[in-house]
Chain A
Amino acid sequence: MTKVRKLHIDDKVEKLIFIFVVLFAVMALTKGNQILKPTVFQTIARQVSEIGLMALGCSICMISGGIDLSGAYIANLAGISAALVMQKTSGNIFAGMLCGILIGAICGAFNGVLVAHLRIPAMLATLGSYQIFQGIAIVISDGKTVQGNKILAKFAMGKVLGIPIPFIIFAVVALGAIFLMGKTSFGRRVYFVGTNEKCSIFSGIRTKQVLLFTYTISGVLCGIAGNLSLARINSAKADFGSSYIMQCILISVLGGINPNGGFGAVPGVIIAAFILQMLSSYLNTFPDISNYYRDLIWGLALILVLIANYYSDKRKMRK
């Protein structure tokens, strides 16, 4: 990690914090009475946990020079299997959640094998695998909504010092991800592989292992997200949240991850997830705005952020 790049990252993170503060101020000023309530914050905290975990997974894959388009479907499959296990074991929520995370890991590892060992371009591998994951989810759930578990739902509604438990889980995992990608030799290797895979091989990095591990981590994060989503909604269905794919990419790019790999910092992704979720809650306070407009805003935001980054990078190059 170098001084210049650190500054560079802080630069982007700073910008994101600024956007976050401005957005918050706008929200407080225009809709203060509806926004500045603990329940609203708690809802935001709950929702950001799921999308945030998936976006983290997607970001790590992007840093490694690939992409994970299957995250939302891994989460669905994990949620459905967790729910089914809970049903079969007559309410063993730990077995269920463990199964969800395990399914996430297996799906992620499957992606990892496709990308690292079979050399399929990540975009295509995860495009194909997401069909498979969704397909399996349809098969095991028979295409129907699977009921969750009351104890789990209660647990997820719990709070510690007013902070929702799912958010605490997210915070712990996110800190772990920041540490892993920023401070460890593994994290550094992911950046190297994302910059130039061939050179990584010539530098003694076990690239296959690194990639396999990267996608497995992404899968585990999505597995956890699937559990949280199951707990929050108290049900799971195979075609839940297909728009999450778009949002994950949006959060990653907004958070400063370079879609070509090798650059970008994890803290930015987490702030970006907050920005998006807050914006989403803010939109909820306008009842006349159809929910469907959210798609429009996310799409627009993705393209505009890309364009803004393009111009700011260009300006930097000139300096």
Chain B
Amino acid sequence: MKKFKKITQDTEFWVFIIIVILSLIIQVRSGQFFTNNNIVDIIRSMIYPALGAICALLAFVSTGPDVSFPMIGACSSFLAIAITKSTGFNGPWIFVYLIAIIFGAIMGAVNGFIIVKYKFPSLIVTLGTSSIISGLLFGAFEAERTELPANLQAFGSAALFSVKNVKTGLGSSMPYTFIILIVVYLVAYIVLNYTMIGRGVYAIGGDEISADRAGFNVNAIRFGVFVINGCVAAIAGLSYATMTLHYLPAEYSGGEMVVIAAIVLGGAKLTGGVGTLRGCLLGTLLLSMVTNSLILVGISINWQKVFIGGIIIVGTVIPMVQKHFASKNSGIHQNGGNA
């Protein structure tokens, strides 16, 4: 019973319930939700935002918002694709990823350096660097729609498996980038939960001074978080291009809001120190369901942004209200007072 009560206090639990209810509603209204191709479609559309959600999570837990992930993704994947094409390299696709990761790490390092050295709000810094990167991408590199190099093209067209809906005749295939998603999450899970550096990410988000006194290298961890964010952003950006089978820089901007919404829904706290990968996935799933299924239910795609904004706001209000009631019920014997 106690355990059950504990579970119901989790935001994740409620997100899960909402997902179940929502999927049932969509199923009833359209009859199309629990079909093999729809499920594959939803998972497929989750891959890019779920990778971005890791960036948002790491940044929020340790420091504050990082809104530079779409631009870092766009720029590093552009560079990786351009270099691959200009050298005519046609080896394994993983090398293209490695090039992108290196560029992503460099851009993340710039973020990390400024935030760690000057202690500026991460939102403003990453807004600034996003703008710089966007200027470089569109101005200096003159990025525009580009076809993928052959190795990525092949990697992107290959399907892990394909399904076909017998009734509608619609088919869907699962891209190999799904494996990338799983690998990145597994690595992140192990690092965050089973290494001292990972625990340090939570520790500095909980109390920076205590972390320093305990012996965590606060600056190194924070810098590392932003470098890793750059790497993950690069992987996400390139995976997006791979899945869509072309590179189009204009498609990247705006992704930061969706992933912030996702992690907030997944229970990450804005004040830092709290947030799980499971929450990331659940939040992303919920948002992907909403955006994917509006059409299934017969709502115009124009409403998408209204829904996402609404979800962010409702998602942040609920924990506040919960806290409010929690403090109301506990009565006397709280600590000292403070209204």
A163-189 CB mask vs B (1 if < 8 Å, else 0) is 000000000000000000000000000
- Chain A contact patch, size range: 35 or more
A:264-319 near B, CB below 8 Å: 289-300, 302-303, 306-307, 310
Chain A proximity of B299: nearest CB distance (Å): 10
Bound Cα distance from A118 to B257, whole angstroms: 20
The yes or no answer to B308 lying at the interface (CB within 8 A) is: yes
A125-165 CB mask vs B (1 if < 8 Å, else 0) is 10111111111101100110000000000000000000000
Chain B residues within an 8 Å CB radius of A293: 135, 139-140
**Cβ B130 vs Cβ A290 within 8 A:** no
- Across the two chains, which residue of chain A brings its CB closest to B311? A128
The yes or no answer to A17 lying at the interface (CB within 8 A) is: no
Chain B residues within an 8 Å CB radius of A246: 127-128, 130-131
**Cβ B125 vs Cβ A139 within 8 A:** no
**Cβ B132 vs Cβ A118 within 8 A:** no
Q: Which of B131, B140, B304 is the most central at the interface, judged by chain A CB atoms within 10 Å of its CB?
A: B131
Dominant secondary structure of chain B at its interface with chain A = helix
B:307-338 near A, CB below 8 Å: 307-313, 316-317, 320
Bound Cα distance from A243 to B118, whole angstroms: 25
Q: Which of A127, A142, A292, A310 lies in contact with B257, CB distance below 8 A?
A: A127
- Across the two chains, which residue of chain B brings its CB closest to A201? B339
**Cβ B320 vs Cβ A120 within 8 A:** yes
Q: Which of B125, B140, B253, B313 lies in contact with A120, CB distance below 8 A?
A: B313
- Across the two chains, which residue of chain A brings its CB closest to B270? A121
The yes or no answer to B129 lying at the interface (CB within 8 A) is: yes
Q: Which of B123, B125, B316, B317 is the most central at the interface, judged by chain A CB atoms within 10 Å of its CB?
A: B316
The yes or no answer to B306 lying at the interface (CB within 8 A) is: yes
**Cβ B129 vs Cβ A303 within 8 A:** yes
Q: Which of B118, B264, B311 lies in contact with A124, CB distance below 8 A?
A: B264
**Cβ A299 vs Cβ B118 within 8 A:** no
B128-147 CB mask vs A (1 if < 8 Å, else 0) is 11111111111110100000
Chain A proximity of B63: nearest CB distance (Å): 13
Chain B residues within an 8 Å CB radius of A120: 313, 316-317, 320
Q: Answer whether A302 and B307 are a contact pair too, CB < 8 Å, given A128-B312, A290-B139, A295-B134.
A: no
Q: Which of B123, B135, B261, B307 lies in contact with A299, CB distance below 8 A?
A: B135
**Cβ B302 vs Cβ A143 within 8 A:** yes
- Across the two chains, which residue of chain A brings its CB closest to B321? A118
- Across the two chains, which residue of chain B brings its CB closest to A70? B309
- Across the two chains, which residue of chain A brings its CB closest to B141? A292
Q: Which of B128, B134, B305 lies in contact with A132, CB distance below 8 A?
A: B305
- Across the two chains, which residue of chain A brings its CB closest to B308? A131
**Cβ A124 vs Cβ B131 within 8 A:** no
Q: Answer whether A128 and B132 are a contact pair too, CB < 8 Å, given A135-B305, A296-B139.
A: no
**Cβ A290 vs Cβ B138 within 8 A:** yes
Chain A residues within an 8 Å CB radius of B142: 290
Chain B residues within an 8 Å CB radius of A142: 302
The yes or no answer to A79 lying at the interface (CB within 8 A) is: no
The yes or no answer to A63 lying at the interface (CB within 8 A) is: no
- Across the two chains, which residue of chain B brings its CB closest to A110? B313
Q: Which of A118, A133, A302, A303 lies in contact with B317, CB distance below 8 A?
A: A118
Binding site for A on B (CB under 8 A): 65, 114, 118, 120-121, 123-125, 127-140, 142, 253-254, 257, 260-261, 264, 270, 300, 302-313, 316-317, 320
Beyond the given A246-B128, A249-B124, A303-B129, please list 19 additional residue pairs across the A-B interface where CB-CB is below 8 A: A118-B320, A120-B313, A124-B316, A127-B312, A128-B312, A128-B313, A129-B313, A131-B306, A131-B308, A134-B309, A135-B302, A139-B303, A246-B131, A250-B128, A290-B138, A292-B138, A293-B140, A298-B135, A306-B118
Leading 3 A-B pairs by shortest Cβ distance:
A296-B135, A131-B309, A299-B131
